Amino acid sequence: MGSATADPWKPLATSFFRRPAEDVATDLLGRYLVREIDGRRRTVRIVETEAYLGARDRASHAWNGRRTQRNASLYLPSGHAYVYFIYGLHHCFNVVTRGADEEGSAVLIRAGEPIAGEAEMIAARGIEGAVRPGQVAGGPARLCQVLAIDRTLDGALLRPSALYLTRGEAVVADLVAAGPRIGIAYAGEAATWPLRFAVRGNPHVSRPRL
DNA sequence: CGGAAGATCCACT
DNA sequence: GTGGATCTTCCGA
Average pLDDT for A120-140: 94
> CA geometry: angle at A172 spanning A170 and A178, to 5°?
100
Answer for A66: CB within 7 Å of strand C: yes
User: Please, what is the average pLDDT of chain A?
Assistant: 95
What three-state secondary structure class fits A54?
A: helix
Confidence of residue A175 (pLDDT cuts 50, 70, 90): very high
Length of chain A in terms of residues written: 210
Which among A70, A85, A5, A9 has a CA at the least distance from the CA of A41? A9
The total of other beta-carbon atoms located within 10 Å of residue A71's CB is 19
Separation between the CA of A17 and the C1’ of C5 (whole angstroms): 36
Report strand pairing: A90-96 vs A176-179: unpaired
The total of other beta-carbon atoms located within 10 Å of residue A152's CB is 10
Average pLDDT for A2-23: 90
Average pLDDT for A146-174: 97
SS3 content of chain A, % helix, strand, coil (to 5): 25, 30, 45
Separation between the CA of A183 and the C1’ of B2 (whole angstroms): 26
A134 close to A205: Cβ distance less than 8 angstroms: yes
What is the per-residue pLDDT across A63-82, written as a single tens digit (0 to 9) for each? 999 999 999 999 999 999 99
Q: What percent of chain A has pLDDT over 90?
A: 92
Q: What pLDDT score does A54 carry?
A: 96
Of residues A189 and A130, more confidence is placed in A189
Nucleotide nearest to A68 (CA to C1'): C10
Q: What pLDDT score does A93 carry?
A: 98
Answer for A129: CB within 7 Å of strand C: no
Is pLDDT of A89 > 60?
A: yes
> What pTM was computed for the model?
0.95
Average pLDDT for A189-193: 95
Average pLDDT for A11-18: 97
Of residues A130 and A1, more confidence is placed in A130
What three-state secondary structure class fits A116?
A: strand
What three-state secondary structure class fits A92?
A: strand
Q: Could you tell me the end-to-end alpha-carbon distance of chain A, in angstroms, rounded to an integer? A: 32
Q: What pLDDT score does A154 carry?
A: 98
Q: What percent of chain A has pLDDT over 70?
A: 98
Nucleotide nearest to A74 (CA to C1'): B7
What is the per-residue pLDDT across A38-69, written as a single tens digit (0 to 9) for each? 999 999 999 999 999 999 999 999 999 999 99
Separation between the CA of A88 and the C1’ of C7 (whole angstroms): 4
Confidence of residue A114 (pLDDT cuts 50, 70, 90): very high
